[in-house]
Amino acid sequence: MMQIGFFRNDWGFGSAIAVIMFMLSFVVAVFYVLFVLRRDNSDAPRKAKRA
C-alpha cells in the first residue's frame, strides 16, 4: 500500500488497498469480539454458582 501510493505515485490504487485492508481487519475484529463475548457470556452461569 505504501509503496504503491507514495513511491509509484498511484494514490487511488494505494487508497483502494487501504480500504480493503481496513474492511478485512474490521470483519475479523467483529467476529473475534462476537466469539469472545459469546464465550464469556456462556461461562457466566457457572461462575455465579461457584460464588
Cα separation of 45 and 43, whole Å? 6
Q: How far apart are CA 28 and CA 1, in angstroms?
A: 20
Instruction: Indicate the domain borders of the chain.
Output: 2-50
- In the prediction, which pLDDT does 48 show? 58
pLDDT at 25: 98
pLDDT of residue 16: 93
Residue 14 near residue 5, CB atoms below 8 Å: yes
Non-local (6+) Cβ contacts of 27 within 8 A are none
DSSP 8-state symbol, 51: -
Residue 1 has pLDDT above 80, yes or no: no
Per-residue pLDDT reduced to its tens digit, 15-49: 999 999 999 999 999 999 988 888 777 666 665 56
